[in-house]
Amino acid sequence: MPQKDRTNLAVDDVGLLGNLTEHRMDFVKNLDTDMSLAILSCLDDPSDLVRASAVSRSWREFVIKYSLSKNLCLKLFHQLTSVDRIIDTSNDMKESFEASGSSSSSLMDDDTRVLEREHRVYALLAKGCRSSPIRSCIADAIIASSTDNFPAESILNTLDERDRIGGTPSYWSSTGHHKTSVPETLLYQLKGDLCVITELSVQPFQAYFQRGTPIYSSHYVRFRLGHLDNNQAESGKIPVENKYVWTYTSQEFPMAQENRLQNFKLPEPVLCIGGYMLVEFLGRVQTQEMDGLYYICVSHVKVMGRSLAKSFQVVDPDESSGKFGLKVLSYSDPQEMDENEEEAEGQSPYRPMRNLEQLLNFLHRHPLDVEYVWPESDEEEEEEEAESDGEV
């Protein structure tokens, strides 16, 4: 069946199939398993699959028995084949099992419970990956491979969209090198262990305070997504950026030597498993006039996507096998947003300061201008009192 026709079936004909079921033309009961699977596998939208499972008891049992929600997730993101266990401690699932068991003559067997749980988890996961709101996904800046002038040119400056705050420039700068081949990296933590990345952007910095206003971009940029390596997390003998396992590496994108937010389109949305991103800058193009060295400077890094932080958590990812556990935190609708969090982000022009580096950086760019008033001495007070008594 052509892909367009398959999509039309998924969108338009779920209700029609339900009507046929009501008129005792239930194809799930009357057709062989392979044909029924071929029909229901045309539903590429998670919401359509959930609606199909609500048409009748036979449809729900079929969807659950043949793991159609799980198959849909694997079709959307092949990285989910690495899930080797589901950890569910929520009361919602327990109540669901109890309600389902009390409505039937006997409790579900263990296999049915497992399939029921997988159906609900993967249905929620598929919906979150497809329909959660697209927002900024960067939670914090971790470390840069080098920094020329710390903290004034810290990686933390790249979290702000502005290239200057007041009259002060805001950017990250690498150290200088004679060789153009020396790369640089910026490491970020994302908002959640599972994030569907849809857009990546970088803005090179233009040094408007230098003669000729040079732009310190790189030849190419590349992105890596992954998780912390549990075996190396506590080791202090290796560089911080080497304590991570990268499960996805993008192509090398050419960067323009232009002062604008440059967007880099991925072939398709990517599921980040683990919540960390490494930005690699490859090749230097601009020298600084005062020392003749090549630098890379960036004013802003932006990552847009769908964060599933409120619904799921990645548990004990294994570097050798690539397997990980998926912990369910909540079954609430992934489309619902935390309004308090949005308001808090919108009210303050500055991000919350989470560590000493951010505080030092903030104070460096915004020095406190306080005029201290010295208290008057006792002798001065006595003289003023004597003068006032004489006047009286």
**CB distance 177 to 146 below 8 Å:** no
Read off the tokens for 209: 């305070």
pLDDT at 336: 59
Confidence band, pLDDT 50/70/90 cuts, at residue 319: confident
Question: What is residue 213's three-state secondary structure?
Answer: coil
Lowest mean pLDDT among 87-101, 204-218, 229-243, 280-294: 87-101
pLDDT at 130: 86
- Mean per-residue pLDDT of the chain: 79
Q: Is the per-residue pLDDT at 192 higher than 50?
A: yes
94/104 Cα distance (integer angstroms): 16
Lowest mean pLDDT among 52-66, 108-122, 354-368: 354-368
**CB distance 309 to 194 below 8 Å:** yes
Q: Is the per-residue pLDDT at 196 higher than 70?
A: yes
- For every residue of 133-176, DSSP letters joined together read PPEE-EEEEEEES--SSTTTT-GGGGGSS-SEETTEE--EEPPP
Confidence band, pLDDT 50/70/90 cuts, at residue 179: very high
Confidence band, pLDDT 50/70/90 cuts, at residue 166: confident
Read off the tokens for 59: 């449809």
Q: Is the per-residue pLDDT at 7 higher than 50?
A: no
The predicted-structure confidence for 139-164, as pLDDT tens digits, reads as follows 999 999 999 999 999 999 999 999 99
The predicted-structure confidence for 119-128, as pLDDT tens digits, reads as follows 999 999 998 9
Beta bridge partners of 280: 185, 222
Q: Is the per-residue pLDDT at 208 higher than 80?
A: yes
> Is cis: bond before 133, omega within 30 of 0?
no
Question: What is residue 77's three-state secondary structure?
Answer: coil
Query: Which domains are present in the chain?
Result: 1-66 (no CATH), 78-130+313-330 (no CATH), 135-307 (2.60.120.260)
Q: Residue for token digits 């690495």?
A: 82
Beta bridge partners of 368: none
